[in-house]
Structure 1
Amino acid sequence: MTPKKATLIASSIASLLALVKLVVGLMSGSVAVLASAIDSLLDVIISVFNFFALHKSEQPANQKFNYGYGKIESLASLVEGFIIGCSGGYILYEAIGKIISKEHIIELNQTIGVMVFSLVMTLGLVSFLSIMVKKSKNQVLEADLLHYKTDLLSNGGVLLSLAIIYWTDWQIVDAILGIIVALYVMFSAFGIVKKGVLNLLDRSIDEELSQKIETTLKNSPISSYHGLKSRISGNTLFMEVHLVFDENISLLEAHNLSEEIEEKLAQNDTTLHWVILSHLDPYDDSIAKD
């Protein structure tokens, strides 16, 4: 299954949850359920946005965009994080308003039933997206997964608060939980925005993959290497490295060896598309410049 199909499934489930929770939230007066409904509605908008972002990012490079459209995924992640942060701010606003107005929840039994249904559906969606992220390592799906994990936590918290209200009639629990969920959502949004910004700024690959690359290069039939650079754009890893060979080696032999090295490098993560630019040097020109 492709990442685009995964986003369609996510948006369909989010649409159903948003509709059900919105109706019950308005009927019951629960700020936590209403906040959850608004969050699910935002999920729909975000998933649809992600679908079109993925569709565009998969288009091949052209004369205008020589390196493709992979950065659109980072841009989509950035927008998604901003929207999630805004939803957290709205939840916080509603929760504080309920504390001031001291409104009570009505139709408590139906509200609990809806949140149980929502919790089960969201758990299934999180499990599905977790599998898809492991397979594709797609940044947009990863942001979606984080968002739905946040939903899972908030749904569980809402259900717990409703149970406490059911047994104790402590109505303020609903608002307190709303504040906690809001703060957590805004914190999660910050992480998504930060990652999107770093990728747009061409941050190098993560330390674990970088170590694997260096190990592969050290075990290769070359004298040394230097000038190693890398960045991620969508699902493509762009890498540049200078490979130092013995000065007596033929150009053809050095070329063939460099291709073998590039193939070994790409085996470090087969979920990524590798674009490697190898400079073939007869000596370490990084030392010569010094």
Structure 2
Amino acid sequence: MAVVLVSLKTVASWQTGSVAMLGSLADSALDLLASLVTLVGVRFAAMPADDDHRFGHGKAEALAALAQVILITISALGIAWRAIDRLQNGAPTGDLEMGVGVSVFAILATFALLAYQRHVIRKTGSIAIRTDNVHYQSDLFLNLSVIAALVLDQMMGWRAADPIFGIGIALWLMWGAGRAASHSVDQLMDREWPQEEREAFLYAARDYPELDGLHDFRTRHAGTHRFVQFHVWVPADWTVREAHDRMDAVEEKLQSRFPGTEILIHLDPEGHTDRETMLPSAITEKKP
């Protein structure tokens, strides 16, 4: 998709001389490079754990997403610089039909791509694909702004429309880059799951008496993989074998309810805590 759009927008940018179209071309060119980065990141993240990466390679997706953010930011700065130069020096655009036609085609193609990406995100939860999806969402507004800039410039004689829309495109790209960066940083910094996900897991854990006294509950993401670990009190009369077998059975049941989640349970003697890590009583109550 990016290869086709880059080819069409190269011709359209040459024909129209539009800064907005040039920004759209730069954006599509970065889409192509970003998609290649995403491909490498996703494939690397899907590799199983090895001797050097015992927790897997999931964070490669977050690194790929950050690489996209850098590319988007560079593109936005370049577009803004070109737009400011055009605003100061001025120059008319041309070939309205070519510019509008390419932009309309780009909008239709982007709608199809976004629909497919949303399908992939629902199935995998990939943060790299989600970042790519955010970028392509901005393409819809970007292509609409190109149409508006060309129409205002050529049909209404407002020469400042093209560079102003170019600056708007640059600001939009930088805003999207900042939003995408926050998701990647959260994953690299091992941010906890959202509160609703944490509570859903804790409510599910209440279905298993073996997990009474659950404490020191921690969660994180790494690519499409999720990790959760916690401590559990066990009665003093349980043998190590009995506790191990019971917890293995609980882990298997929870993993079937939360696919793609690695669960690590640490056993403590009943009543023991290393520090004040008990969950609030409100969390451990049954969900109504």
Answer whether contact 1:212 1:268 (CA < 8 A) is retained: no
Structure 2 letter corresponding to 1:226 = H
- Select the residue among 32, 35, 39 that pairs with 1:44: 32
Aligned to 1:283: 270
RMSD of equivalent CA atoms:
1.9
How far apart, CA to CA, are the structure 2 residues paired with 1:155 and 1:260?
A: 54
- Select the residue among 193, 208, 230 that pairs with 2:219: 230
- Select the residue among 88, 93, 96 that pairs with 1:105: 93
Question: Residue 178 in 1 paired to residue 166 in 2?
Answer: yes
Following TM superposition, by how much is the alpha carbon of 1:267 offset from its aligned partner in structure 2, in angstroms? 4.5
How far apart, CA to CA, are the structure 2 residues paired with 1:32 and 1:223?
A: 61
Aligned to 1:254: 243
Aligned to 2:130: 142
- Select the residue among 133, 143, 165 that pairs with 1:155: 143
- Select the residue among 112, 119, 128 that pairs with 1:131: 119
- Deviation string 1:21-78 (CA, Å, 9 cap, x unpaired) is 1221122110001110111001101111111122222222111221121111111111
Kindly tell me the number of residue pairs found equivalent between the two proteins. Answer: 276
5+ residue gaps, structure 2, are 278-288
Aligned to 1:66: 54
Following TM superposition, by how much is the alpha carbon of 1:269 offset from its aligned partner in structure 2, in angstroms? 3.9
Following TM superposition, by how much is the alpha carbon of 1:282 offset from its aligned partner in structure 2, in angstroms? 2.9
Question: Residue 240 in 1 paired to residue 262 in 2?
Answer: no
- Deviation string 1:125-150 (CA, Å, 9 cap, x unpaired) is 11111111111111111111001001
Mark the CA change 1:269 to 1:100 in structure 2 (over 3 Å): closer, same or farther: farther
Answer whether contact 2:234 2:269 (CA < 8 A) is retained: yes
- Deviation string 1:154-195 (CA, Å, 9 cap, x unpaired) is 112222332333431212111111111111110110122222
- Deviation string 1:181-226 (CA, Å, 9 cap, x unpaired) is 1111101101222221221122222222111112122332133111
How far apart, CA to CA, are the structure 1 residues paired with 2:76 and 2:275?
A: 55
Instruction: Name the SS for the 2:273 alignment partner.
Output: helix
Answer whether contact 1:18 1:40 (CA < 8 A) is retained: yes
How far apart, CA to CA, are the structure 1 residues paired with 2:104 and 2:192?
A: 42
Instruction: Name the SS for the 2:145 alignment partner.
Output: helix
Aligned to 2:67: 79
Q: Which moved more, 1:60-69 or 1:163-172?
A: 163-172
Following TM superposition, by how much is the alpha carbon of 1:264 offset from its aligned partner in structure 2, in angstroms? 4.0
How far apart, CA to CA, are the structure 1 residues paired with 2:258 and 2:17?
A: 50
Answer whether contact 1:218 1:224 (CA < 8 A) is retained: no
Structure 2 letter corresponding to 1:126 = L
Aligned to 1:4: none
Aligned to 1:274: 261
How far apart, CA to CA, are the structure 2 residues paired with 1:42 and 1:155?
A: 15
Following TM superposition, by how much is the alpha carbon of 1:274 offset from its aligned partner in structure 2, in angstroms? 1.7
Answer whether contact 1:20 1:114 (CA < 8 A) is retained: yes
Answer whether contact 2:107 2:140 (CA < 8 A) is retained: yes
Structure 1 letter corresponding to 2:177 = A
Mark the CA change 1:253 to 1:151 in structure 2 (over 3 Å): closer, same or farther: same
How far apart, CA to CA, are the structure 2 residues paired with 1:159 and 1:268?
A: 48
Answer whether contact 1:122 1:151 (CA < 8 A) is retained: yes
Following TM superposition, by how much is the alpha carbon of 1:116 offset from its aligned partner in structure 2, in angstroms? 0.8
- Select the residue among 250, 265, 281 that pairs with 2:254: 265
Give the share of equivalent positions with the same residue, in percent.
28
Answer whether contact 2:92 2:153 (CA < 8 A) is retained: no
Answer whether contact 2:37 2:67 (CA < 8 A) is retained: no
Answer whether contact 1:216 1:264 (CA < 8 A) is retained: no
In the superposition, the TM-score normalised over structure 2's length comes to 0.89
- Structure 1's consecutive aligned runs of 4 or more residues displaced over 6 angstroms after TM superposition are 287-290
Answer whether contact 2:19 2:82 (CA < 8 A) is retained: yes
Structure 2 letter corresponding to 1:197 = V
Aligned to 2:102: 114
- Select the residue among 39, 43, 48 that pairs with 1:55: 43
How far apart, CA to CA, are the structure 1 residues paired with 2:111 and 2:88?
A: 33
Instruction: Name the SS for the 1:286 alignment partner.
Output: coil
Following TM superposition, by how much is the alpha carbon of 1:253 offset from its aligned partner in structure 2, in angstroms? 4.1
